[in-house]
Every structure is written in structure tokens, then in C-alpha cells.
Amino acid sequence: MTKLLEIDHLSIEFASPTGPIQVVSSISLDLEPGQTHGIVGESGSGKSVTSLSIMRLLPKDQARVVEGDIRLQGQSLLGMSESQMQKVRGNRIAFIFQEPMTALNPVFKIGRQVREAIRQHSKKSKRAAQKEAIALLSEVGISSPEQIVNVYPHQLSGGMRQRVMIAMAIASNPEILIADEPTTALDVTIQAQILDLMKKLQKERGMAMILITHDLGVVAEVCDVVSVMYAGQIVEQGDVKTLFREPKHPYTVGLLNSIPQFSGKEKRLQAISGQVPHPAEYPAGCRIAARCPSRMDMCDNIEPTLYELDHGHRCKCHLYRGDENVTYS
Amino acid sequence: MLAYVLRRIAMMVPSIAGIIMITFILTRVLPGDPALMITGEQALPEFVDKVREQYGFNQPLLVQLWEYLKQLARGDLGFAWHTGHAVASDFVSRFPATIELTLVSMVIALIVAIPLGIVAASRQNSIFDHFARVLSFIGSSVPIFWLGLLLIGLFYSKLGWLPAPMGRISDNINPPTHITGLYVLDSLLSWDMVALKDSLRHLLLPALCLSMGTMAIVTKMIRASMLEVIRQDFMRTARAKGLSERAVIYKHGLINALIPTLTVIGLQFGALLGGAVITETIFVWPGIGNYVTESILSADYAPIQAMTLISAVLYGCINLIVELLYGVLDPRVRYE
């Protein structure tokens, strides 16, 4: 069976004055219909770059895919012409961005911007599109959509604008919705509402979703499968229950320990020491070694592979290598 | 909105009062004896004195200023002795020539500058971008008098494609029926193809010459603001909807890039309406710029003062219109 979306050993380089820098290294992930895949990581771990590369929205003059492929139902997105790709964007794969405050065009009314999303991939009249825009806005929980179509983005709150963004994203009934930190810029109370809305819409419309976030709480609540990214690589991947119950990678363990717990005794939060290295300064061995509490001698020089544990649970750490699959590189 | 407009107009009053004072004083301080200019160098001293007395040039400066203000208050702009007409009627007969020249040069400048600026920004560092940069560099640094003479030398003297740079229409062709005073428009309205063709041929070189500066600055502005707009999040949203790059740039980008450029266009327009002195002089264009030059050369105070005042008022009005246009383009602008 072909997967809905398949990212296959994808590596992306960015141009820099000192030569190309690899910011995403050999990432693989699969997405099944209706599934929600979370990508978690600190800022600079390459999660946004990965998501933008699926839509081929990275700046062409700066970013280059150097290895791997992205396939939508078996068809390579990277091999598509620009006009074929335009038929995918917004139509089969839709995107919700992090910053609702700046993601809408300030000089056009909401109605026009939603209509545009509708009419781009269907031959509807302006009037029909306007009607549908109002229906979509009400579907995303906007209470007086007839009025909202006639206002400008700056007249709406962040949460309202993110609802508008969601309405535009689902306008053409996409198979996949990619949401890049959709709630990060919002108030906590609004965050929960937006997540609930996205979950509801996903269920009703049977969309698959890729949710990019740095918030493990969000992942636990929404996702089926999760990939933990660090320094441009996936360090652990598996279904949410397994990963939260039995985190294998020291980095994932560290992430989980840094979440405040409300049950049990008061404990000091454990922070992961150090910082994500700059892509130009990735070490030869394991990229987390310098920050890892379980560091071994080999970690500095030998890069671990993504070891298969069980049921699709993978972990990129020497702690889990079987003796037979050590690779010296 | 109306209150805003009224307040803005009220705010123009002090600056215009200042301009009246400064021009008055500057014209008096400049060398040149107007009485001598009126009578001619060879006139008898008694006659010169008589003229001086008649025009009040012998009065103390403050008295002259007071007389001038009283005259302005009556709505009288004074008398231009070097033409023998009231300044107001000179202005009315010459202003359409300047408007026509300004409008056509603005149109030429914008037709070139807007697409060029957009292409330069959307294909940064391409051949178009380099061309735009070279053009705006040349346009802003070439002296108009040199360019004007060069154009005349090539298209009139050498190639003979265009008529002699003398005015708005050839002597042997009747100007079109007076409707607006703009020859091109009037000849279109009265369907006078002979006048249309001839006036366009006269208009081409001065308009081209005058457009260079505006073209250069608008190209630069559009390029710069488009480069900024292209990186905005909403442009990425538009691409993510599946819009073509062309639609993204022209539908979503252009309006946003035009907002800051509007200021520059307005300022240029206001400055040109005040009379393109050099261009009008080179091409003997019977507009305001030419009139001001003649007035200065003849030390004719009244038209100099009047034209400065009118330019200042026009400039202020155009600035106000630009600000109101902001509100049309950008819904975030509120007038309070």
C-alpha cells in the first residue's frame, strides 16, 4: 500500500557565505490517511524547514534539497513542475502558519482572502464562494461570519485570525494539513480552543495532519505518532503512547523531565544543559553528545543510526545498538 | 475624516505665512533694481525715480510688506510688468502647459518604474535588477540640462524626427479648441488629429527629460518596498494557497509595496507642478517654470512671490491628497 505522504531520507542545505550548511539531515517519516504526526523539537532543530519543504515553499535561491524525496501517494513532489505543485498547494496539502498576526494580507478583507482560497482550486462564482466562505468561517467557530467577511485582519484578535487561517486551509478539503506551531503565538486559553477545533475538523473531514510544535503537552493531546527532532535529525520516532510511557533517547527523556508535573511531590524542573549547536558546527559523532547525561566515548566520533526497537519505535542512540548493527563511519 | 482634512488645512496656514514672508524678503534682498529693469538701462534718472515711486519700491520694507499682504488679502496676486498682465491671468494661461507636461512625464515615469521595480525585486540580482539599478543611477545623476540638450541634438538636429524644441505646438498649426487647456486632451476631445500629433511630438522630449528623475526614484522605492513585502508572511500564505508566483506578486504584493511609494510619487508630483524650471527653459515650454525664470531675470517681484506661494499651496494640497489616498490603499490607516 502506498503511503499518503512519505518523506524519504530528506536532506536540505542552505546557502551561506562560508558554503552550504546542512540544516536537515536524512529525515524519514510516513503519514497514513487520518493520522496526526507530531514533530517536536527546540527552535533551530529543522522542524519548520522540513514542513516548508513538503510544500516546496523554501526560498529557492537559498535552500536546496540535496538528498531524498517527498512523495504524495507515491508521486514525487520534488519532481513536480511549479504549475503541478500549485495544484497541490492549498488543494491537497494545506498549511497553517505560526504567526496569525502577519500571515493574512493586511490590505484585503477577510472575505476576499477566504474566497481566494476557495476559488483557487474550484470554478465557483464569486457569489457562491462568498457563501461558502461564510459557511467555512462559521465551521471554524466564528460567531458572526457575515460581518467578519467584511472586516480587515487588523480588526481581529490573534485567535480569530488563526481561525480564519484554518478556514482558508480547509477550504479545498485537503488530504493533509500541515500546522507549523499553530498555537504558539496565542494565549493559553485560546490555544486549547484552536487545538480542539483542529482535532474536530480533522475527524470530520478525515484529514491527515502534521503538527509542528515545541510543546510536548500539545503532542500528547493531539498526535498519534511523534518524531523528536534535534539538530536537523530525527532522534526518536514512535507512537505517542509508547514514546511517552517509555522514552528511550536521553534527549526525549530530558524533554519529558523538563515539563512541569502537577501530581506528586514538588520537584525542581530538570533543564537540559547547553544549547543546540549551530548547523555549521555539528560534531562528527552524535549531535547531542555534548549535552547528553549518558554520553559514552564512542558518541563523540561515531554517529548512531536510527535503531529499530519495536512497533515502529526508533531511536538514534548508541545505548540501543545491538552488537550486529554498529556502523563505523 | 472631514475634521482631519480641515485640521490639516489649518495646519498649512502657518507654513504658508512663513513662505510669504521669506519669499518677500528674499526677492528684496536679491541684487537687481526693478525700477531700472522696468525703465531700461538708458533711462533718465528722474524717470527711474518716478517709476520707483509709482511702484512703491522707495518705501520702507515693512510698508511694502504691509501693502503686499493687504493686496493678497484681497485675492490679488499683483501685476507682472514684464508681461503686462495681471499675475493671475498669466498663471491661468500658463498653468495648463505645466500640468500637461507634469502629467505626461509622471505617466512615462510610472509606466517604466513600477513594472521595472517589481521585476527587479522579484528577480533580485538578475539582469533586470542590474538594468533597473543602472537606470535609476543614471536617472538620478544625469543633469537635466545636459540630457535635454542631448535629446534635442539627437532627435531634432541629427535625426530630424521631432520638431524644434519651441513650445507646445508648431506655429503653422492651430492649437485645439480650448476646453481644458491641455493640448493633447483638447485635441482628442475635439478630434483634431493634426493638433494631437503635433502637440504629442512637441511634448515627447521635455516629458521624457522631466520623467527621468521621477523614474529613477520610483524604481528604487518600488524595488526596495517590494523586496520587503516579498519576505512577508502573508506572501507565503498566498503561495501556500496555490497561487502562481505572478498572482502572489501582483495581487498581494503590489498594493502593499505601493503604499510607501505613494509618498514619493506625491512629493515628485507636487514638486513638478511647481514648475520644472530647467526643462521648461530648455524646451521653451510656456509653463510656470519658464514664467518664473523670466520673472527672476526681469526682477519682477510680483510673479516670483505669487508663483512661490502657489507652488507651496499646491504642494501642501498634494501632500494632503496623498495622505488621504493612504487610507484608500491601507485599511489600517485611520484619520483622527
Decide if A88 and B244 are in contact by the 8 Å CB cutoff. no
Positions in chain B short of pLDDT 70: 275, 336
Convert the pLDDT of each residue in A126-156 to its tens digit: 999 999 999 999 999 999 999 999 999 999 9
**What are the residue ranges spanned by the domains of chain B?**
1-86, 90-333
The set of cell numbers assigned to A30 is: 510516513
Residues of B in contact with A88 (CB under 8 A): 242
Q: Is residue A162 part of a domain?
A: yes
pLDDT at A327 > cutoff 60: no
- Enclosing domain of residue A31: 5-92+174-320
Backbone angles phi, psi at A239, to 5 degrees: -75, 155
Amino acid at B244: S
Decide if A102 and B234 are in contact by the 8 Å CB cutoff. yes
Do A136 and A237 fall into the same domain?
no
Q: Is residue A38 part of a domain?
A: yes
Helix B2-29, helix B301-329: angle, nearest 10? 150
Decide if A168 and B241 are in contact by the 8 Å CB cutoff. yes
Distance CA B217, CA B262 (A): 12
pLDDT at A266: 65
Q: Is residue A326 part of a domain?
A: no
CATH 1.10.1240.10 fits B90-333, yes or no: no
Contacts across the A-B interface (CB distance below 8 Å): 70
pLDDT at A329 > cutoff 50: no
Interface probe with A: pick from B232, B234, B334, most Cβ of A within 10 Å = B234
- What mean pLDDT comes out for the span A167-181? 93
Do A246 and A161 fall into the same domain?
no
Share of chain A above pLDDT 70, in %: 95
Residue in B271, B311, B328 with CA at minimum distance from that of residue B109? B271
pTM: 0.81
Using only C-alpha atoms, what is the Rg of chain B?
24
pLDDT band of A323, cuts 50, 70, 90: low
pLDDT at A328 > cutoff 50: no
Q: Look at residues A110, A140, A173 and tell me which one is the last residue of a structural domain.
A: A173
Which has the higher per-residue pLDDT, A231 or A273? A231
Residues of B in contact with A86 (CB under 8 A): 242-244
Residues of A in contact with B254 (CB under 8 A): none
Interface contact A307, partner B, CB < 8 A: no
Convert the pLDDT of each residue in A198-214 to its tens digit: 999 999 999 999 999 98
Do A87 and A218 fall into the same domain?
yes
Total domains in chain A come to 2
Nearest to A102 among B232, B240, B243 (CB): B232
Q: Look at residues A118, A150, A173 and tell me which one is the last residue of a structural domain.
A: A173
Q: Going by C-beta distance under 8 Å and a sequence separation of 6 or more, which residues neighbour residue B82?
A: B37, B294, B295, B298, B300, B303
Q: Which residues pair with A185 in a beta bridge?
A: none
Convert the pLDDT of each residue in A239-288 to its tens digit: 999 888 888 898 898 888 887 777 666 667 777 777 788 888 888 888 88
Do A250 and A295 fall into the same domain?
yes
Residues of A in contact with B239 (CB under 8 A): 57, 89
Buried/exposed code over B133-166 (b: 16+ C-beta within 10 A; e: otherwise): eebbeebeebebeebbeebbeebbeeeeebbebe
Do A181 and A230 fall into the same domain?
yes
Decide if A97 and B332 are in contact by the 8 Å CB cutoff. no
For residue B127, give how far its alpha carbon lies from the nearest alpha carbon of chain A (Å).
Answer: 15
Decide if B330 and A105 are in contact by the 8 Å CB cutoff. no
Distance CA A320, CA A307 (A): 7
Convert the pLDDT of each residue in A33-48 to its tens digit: 999 999 998 888 888 8
| CATH number reported for the structural domain that contains residue A260 in this entry | 3.40.50.300
Q: Look at residues A143, A173, A203 and tell me which one is the last residue of a structural domain.
A: A173
Do A160 and A182 fall into the same domain?
no
Q: Is residue A327 part of a domain?
A: no
Decide if B256 and A107 are in contact by the 8 Å CB cutoff. yes
Decide if B236 and A97 are in contact by the 8 Å CB cutoff. yes
For residue B328, give how far its alpha carbon lies from the nearest alpha carbon of chain A (Å).
Answer: 10
Residues of A in contact with B234 (CB under 8 A): 102-106
Q: Is residue A325 part of a domain?
A: no
The set of cell numbers assigned to A328 is: 563505523
Do A126 and A273 fall into the same domain?
no
pLDDT at A1: 60
Convert the pLDDT of each residue in A61-114 to its tens digit: 889 999 999 999 989 999 999 999 999 999 999 999 988 889 999 999 999 999
Interface contact A184, partner B, CB < 8 A: no
Q: Going by C-beta distance under 8 Å and a sequence separation of 6 or more, which residues neighbour residue A258?
A: A269, A270, A271, A272
ipTM over 0.85: yes
